[in-house]
Amino acid sequence: MLHHLEVWVQDLAASERSLGWLLMRLGFGLDSRWSAGVSYRHKDFYIVLESGKDVRPGMHERTQAGVNHLAFHAGSRKNVDLLTAEALDHGFELMFADRHPYAGGPQHYAAYLEDEAGFEVELVASP
């Protein structure tokens, strides 16, 4: 089990509008806030969004070495569809639209979303 995940972001306010919004919709709660960051908690696990002087300029590039994307359980197919529609109003774009919602294969119902900073998230429907 992961203890926490720290995501360094260029623009904290923009990431709160996209990733922060999504975390709250997925059941995370606001855990703490400081001048350069914010954390969201779900039970014993938390995710930090942090910006500051040590963050190098530029967008996240998911195709380079490092983390490609974060995948979350998102409930029913109906809930995945609802979250996907809402996410488009919160700074996300739908990836692989020509294969949505089966971009991960014919048995994998999911939405692949990317925010304006280049962070990809996958919302996976329950089987």
* CATH number of residue 40's parent domain: 3.10.180.10
Q: Which domain holds residue 108?
A: 4-52+69-124
Q: Is residue 35 part of a domain?
A: yes
Q: Is residue 60 part of a domain?
A: no
What is the tens place of the pLDDT at every residue in 18-36? 999 999 999 999 999 999 9
| pLDDT surpassing 90 at residue 7 | yes
The amino acid at 1: M
pTM here? 0.93
| pLDDT surpassing 90 at residue 57 | no
Whole-number Å distance between alpha carbons of 104 and 14: 28
CA angle 84, 85, 87 (to 5 degrees): 60
The total of structural domains in the chain comes to 1
Q: Is residue 18 part of a domain?
A: yes
What is the tens place of the pLDDT at every residue in 71-123? 999 999 999 999 999 999 999 999 999 999 999 999 999 999 999 999 999 99
| pLDDT surpassing 90 at residue 62 | no
Two tokens, residue 12: 């904290």
